[in-house]
Amino acid sequence: MMGLACFWIVVYHSSFFDFRDIEFLNVTHIGVCLEYVKRLGNAAVEVFLFLSGIGLYYSMSKDSKIIPFYKKRFFRVVPSAFIIVVTLCGFIGANSLPRYFSQITFVDLYIKSDVAEVAWYVSAILVFYLFFPLIYKAVKRFGIWAVIFISIISVIITLFIGAIDYDYFMRVEVVFTRIPAFVTGAYLGKVLMKGVKIPKWSMWLIILFNVAYLFISVGLIKLIQHDYPFVRHYINFPLALSFLFAFAYLREIIGSHIITRFFEMLGLFSLEYYLIHVNMTQYCLNFFNNDEPTGLRYAITIMVVAFVLAVLVKSVADKISGYLNPPVAEEKK
C-alpha cells in the first residue's frame, strides 16, 4: 500500500506532462481517465497518513513504552530525511545560516520564512509522532469519538489560524488539514487489531464510490481551488480512505504477482523516493532537454534516477541508524 501510494504521488508531481497529450492513450479516452486519477494524486498523502496511523497503533499496542517508540520513529525517518534535505539545501543554496539551519532541523514549515519548504511531510510526521502516545490513549479508550473530537478541534484551530494570519495559515494548513486522516488511521489500527473484516460485496460498493467520487471531487476542487485551496485536503479524505480499501481488496485478488512485488519493494523506500522525487522535479528539471511535447521522457528519467538515489540514501541512512542506535541483544533466558 505504501509503495502504491508513493507511486501515485510521484506521478501526481510529474506535472510537466499530461496523459491526454499521449496520442495512443487519448484516442481511447484512457488518457482523460488517467489524468483525472493523476490530478487527485495529492490524496496519496492521506493514504500515507492512514497507513502510518495503523502502523503506529500496532506498534504501541505491542510496546507502549514512549522512549523506545520515539527512538524507533526517529531513526526510521530523520537519518534519510536529513541526508536528503542537507543535500537539497546545499544544492539550492540557502543564502543565510539561520535559513539553512531551519530547513535541516525540519522547523522551517512552522516559522515565518520565505525559504521554500523542501520536506514539509517530515516536519508534519515528526509532530504527529510526538503527539501519538496521547492519540493512542484517546483512541484506545474512546474509539471513534476520540477521532471525531480531535478532528473537530483540528478544523477549529485551522480556521482560527486562517482568521488571524492567512499567509501563515497557507504555510501550515498542509499539516493541520491532514490531522483527521492520521487520527482515523489510528482508529483503523484499533479496528483491524480486533480482526474485523469487511464483506467482499461491500468492496464493490467502495470501488463504485471511487469511480463516482473521482469525478465529483475533480469538480469540487475546480470550484474551490482558487478561494479555498486547503479544502481539497478534506475532499481527499473519503477518496483516500476508499482507495485504501480498494487497493487492499485488489491486492488480495491478485495475490503474489510481479506487480505486487514491485510495489512491495517500492514501499521499502517510499519515504526516500517521495522526498527525492518531489524535489528533483522542482529543482533539477532545467538539467534535462525538452524535445518531447509531453515531457514523458522527463517523467521516466526523473522517476528512475530518484529511485536509484532513494535506494542509496536508505542504505546509508540504515548504516547510520545501526551505528547510532545498535540493536540490543536479547538477554539469555
pTM: predicted TM-score of the whole model, two decimal places: 0.86
Q: Where are the alpha helices (DSSP H) in the chain?
A: 2-13, 23-27, 30-39, 44-62, 66-92, 97-104, 120-142, 144-164, 166-176, 179-193, 200-224, 231-254, 258-268, 270-283, 296-324
Indicate the burial class of 184 (C-beta count within 10 angstroms; 0-12, 13-18, 19 or more).
Answer: buried
Give domain status of residue 146, yes or no. yes
Residue 243 predicted with pLDDT over 80: yes
Give domain status of residue 281, yes or no. yes
Count CB-CB contacts under 10 A for residue 8: 23
pLDDT band (50, 70, 90) for residue 294: low
Round to whole Å and give the CA distance between 99 and 114.
9
In this prediction, residue 117 carries a pLDDT of 63
Give domain status of residue 327, yes or no. no
Domain carrying residue 296: 2-322
Give domain status of residue 246, yes or no. yes
Round to whole Å and give the CA distance between 81 and 167.
26
Average pLDDT value for the chain: 82
Average pLDDT, stretch 120-140? 93
Round to whole Å and give the CA distance between 43 and 164.
27
* 57 vs 94, residue with greater confidence: 57
Give domain status of residue 13, yes or no. yes
In this prediction, residue 331 carries a pLDDT of 43
C-alpha cell recorded at residue 66: 514512549
Residue 197 predicted with pLDDT over 80: no
Give domain status of residue 330, yes or no. no
Count CB-CB contacts under 10 A for residue 247: 17
Give domain status of residue 331, yes or no. no
112-121, 186-195, 233-242, 265-274, range with the lowest pLDDT:
112-121
Give the count of domains, the chain.
Answer: 1
Rounded to 5 degrees, what angle do the CA atoms 231, 237, 243 make? 140
Give domain status of residue 106, yes or no. yes
pLDDT band (50, 70, 90) for residue 118: low
